Amino acid sequence: MQTSARFLLVATLAVSATMLVAQTDSGVSHAPDGGISRHVEGISVPAIPGAPFTTKEVVHLINHLQDGTTVVQMYYAMIVRDSDGRVYRETRGRIPMGADREPPIRDFYFNDPRRGTRTTCTPATRICVVTGWHQNLHPFEEPVGLAKDGLSYLTRENMGTSTIDSLEVIDTRETRTYNAGAFGNDRPVAVTKRYWYSPQLQINLAVDRHDPRTEDQKLELTELNLSAPDPQWFTVPDGYRLVKERVAVQAGNP
């Protein structure tokens, strides 16, 4: 009996060791994972004709970790609107604040309200995809007070007017307070946003967002030029292949 038990134990250890070696040799220890994605909604730019500009959107991201570590990142992206209301903008990745390299460009696109199209180009594949695009012509500003779902309450404060790049802006602060239990929180949570809105261009020239659930976001349009932009911003670059798809895009944030 003792001999049989010892033999069984040795055999089990041998099989376990063989499986461990096989796992190590294969180089696989777990299934693929999608990772964590943190999307930043850029400043909304509607396709309004007669108000052209070229600008660089600079975004600062400040994350305060639980152990006291502060992570500061940034990126910038070009935004262009011509007199016909066409809008060009880029999508770029984050880099550490103070890094001596450019934020990597992921893609860029331009909307054409007259043709009802969006052309999205990806430098990694050198492919531009054309889809149907229609702008929401009736922007909606949520009324203050209790939300329809009853989970939060919105307040809006007029902070006065000021000037940015010789343009008058309206300064507004909004605070949305989520009730305890709204998303699993054990106490109320307040999310604040502050806007500096230009009636002339009908866009925000700056936005500050403070959300204790994620990170602080500071967005600012810099190097603002109100001259008519170069038409090249709205053409497919040389060396890119054009692909047309029959997929309509409803613009919420052009």
Query: What confidence score (pLDDT) does residue 65 get?
Result: 86
For the chain, what is the total number of helices (H) and then of strands (E)? 1, 14
Query: What confidence score (pLDDT) does residue 35 get?
Result: 57
- d(CA 10, CA 163) in angstroms, rounded, equals 81
CB atoms closer than 10 angstroms to residue 105: 17
Query: What confidence score (pLDDT) does residue 138 get?
Result: 63
The pair of structure tokens assigned to 62 is 């400040």
Query: What confidence score (pLDDT) does residue 214 get?
Result: 86
Query: What confidence score (pLDDT) does residue 38 get?
Result: 66
Classified as helix, coil or strand, 135 is strand
Residue 108 carries which side chain, given as an amino acid letter? F
- d(CA 77, CA 58) in angstroms, rounded, equals 7
pTM: 0.81
Query: What confidence score (pLDDT) does residue 223 get?
Result: 95
- Comparing C-alpha atoms, which of 120, 116, 139 is closest to residue 253? 139
58-to-30, 79, 160, 206, 242 alpha-carbon distances in Å: 38, 11, 24, 9, 30
Is the distance from CB of 205 to CB of 169 less than 8 angstroms?
A: yes
182-to-147, 185, 193, 214 alpha-carbon distances in Å: 12, 6, 19, 16
Q: What structural domains and CATH numbers belong to the chain?
A: 53-251 (2.50.20)
pLDDT tens for each residue of the chain, 254 residues long: 445 555 445 455 454 555 445 455 566 777 776 655 567 788 999 999 999 999 999 999 999 888 889 999 999 999 999 999 999 999 999 999 989 999 999 999 999 999 999 999 999 999 999 999 888 766 678 899 999 999 999 999 999 999 999 999 999 999 999 999 999 999 999 999 999 999 999 999 999 999 998 889 999 999 999 999 999 999 999 999 999 886 555 555 45
Start-to-end Cα distance in the chain = 77
Query: What confidence score (pLDDT) does residue 37 get?
Result: 56
